[in-house]
Structure 1
């Protein structure tokens, strides 16, 4: 959910970005020199997307690409089975929300 792919732009060409096609939304942040591609949801029925853009620069100018996202599915099948009181180990009523949030994910 809430996938944001940040593509750096070369400093000499950040003002002349042209996006031809885009699944989802995009935002050109000329102040930071970044093209942000936003996809609200990637799941089984929506596995892929594409964005086609033109910008001056050499291939290495567009890296590293940074990716931010949130997922309700963890990489491993980890669960809280129960919660018990420290005092007498009696069951404690609880609820649980699990999310996978990345600190840093880059394509270099």
Structure 2
């Protein structure tokens, strides 16, 4: 059981995100990651062809997936030839943003292909990834809330969410 350190202080209600339990995983093997992304830039003459793919772990349905690929500085936007999802070119930051609203059993994998002027393959890394999911690696949930000074249990709500804080392909 988890309780407040000082029972005389009130619980911080009215705040949007009060985290009672927060934990993180470090050093996972690749097979357990919720999402893997592979990128293959190939220079051919006056163009660089970039193929990028994602594959999602079956346990998680991912929402608001955003894969941000750095691009070499250019006056021209990339030419997106094929994509599963949507894309946006951010000229100010020189990035290509690939977004997929929902990754579930209908699209556990997807790809995108785009072309830019000739560039060093290392200029497309690191790729930054963001997403959320409605479940986590553990099945930890609040079972009940017990008042410190007795009385009936208060009403409470809980939201369980997996958030990718720092997720990169380097």
* TM value normalised by structure 2: 0.59
Could you say which structure has the larger radius of gyration? 2
* 1:1-80 superposed matches below 5 A: 1-11=63-73, 13=74, 15-56=76-117, 57-80=119-142
Q: How far does residue 86 in structure 1 lie from its aligned partner after superposition? A: 2.0
SS in 2 for 1:69: strand
| Alignment partners' CA distance in 2, 1:71 and 1:41 | 10
Residues 10/88 of structure 1: CA separation in 2 closer, same or farther (3 Å cut): same
C-alpha root-mean-square deviation of aligned residues, in Å? 1.5
Q: Is the 8 A contact 1:14 1:55 kept in 2?
A: no
Residues 89/105 of structure 1: CA separation in 2 closer, same or farther (3 Å cut): farther
| Alignment partners' CA distance in 2, 1:15 and 1:32 | 13
- Give the count of matched residue pairs: 107
Q: How far does residue 2 in structure 1 lie from its aligned partner after superposition? A: 0.3
| Alignment partners' CA distance in 1, 2:141 and 2:75 | 45
Residues 15/102 of structure 1: CA separation in 2 closer, same or farther (3 Å cut): same
Structure 2 unaligned segments of length 5 or more: list them: 1-62
With CA pairs under 8 Å and 6+ residues apart, which has the higher RCO, 1 or 2?
1
| Alignment partners' CA distance in 2, 1:32 and 1:101 | 23
Structure 1 unaligned segments of length 5 or more: list them: none
| Alignment partners' CA distance in 2, 1:16 and 1:62 | 14
